[in-house]
Amino acid sequence: HTEDELSRSSHSNPGKSLVNGIKTNPASNSPKSSLGVPMGPPVYVDLAYIPNHCSGKNTDPEFFKRVRASYYVVSGNDAANGEPSRAVLDALLEGKSQWGENLQVTLIPTHDTEVTREWYQQTHEKQQELNIMVLASSSTVVMQDESFPACKIEF
């Protein structure tokens, strides 16, 4: 097919679209990793914020296979909405286990939650095996009558 033919076929069939020349159905229940994102080499970054407050809506093992960070920030603090998500924390372990290299990773939770505490305790051996450190901080910043926990990160 030429680009014009592919473009016309996607406009004439509104329930389906083309992603990288492949027909997809946005209403299907296909896994996140098959949403048409082209495969490529992993991206290495110093610091990555886990999307959507560590909700399972947008982050799966594929995210951690492809986005390889020295530090991941977990900011979820809403148990009613599944933030942080245990599945996302488990996805970090699964994704990191497929890196093929034992780079140090530091996970930085911005809130002390039951989910992160339980995950930490239940997967501690796997974290050590994968060279993942969970950073806990007893530091507190006080600003304008408000205090909150803080971490210092050096690159």
Q: What is the domain partition of the chain in residue ranges? A: 43-149
* Dihedral pair phi/psi, residue 39, rounded to 5°: -75, 145
57/89 Cα distance (integer angstroms):
13
Q: Whole-angstrom distance between the N-terminal and C-terminal Cα of the chain?
A: 49
Strand 132-134 versus strand 105-109 pairing type: parallel
pLDDT of residue 42: 94
Collect the ranges in the chain with pLDDT lower than 70. Answer: 1-38, 53, 82, 137-139, 149, 151-155
pLDDT of residue 19: 41
Query: pLDDT (tens digit, 9 = 90+) per residue, 118-141?
Result: 999 999 999 999 999 998 766 677
pLDDT of residue 101: 86
132 to 14, 35, 42: CA distances (angstroms): 45, 28, 18
62/50 Cα distance (integer angstroms):
13
Report the predicted TM-score, pTM, of the whole model to 2 decimal places. 0.66
- The H or E element that residue 25 is part of is none
pLDDT of residue 34: 46
pLDDT of residue 52: 76
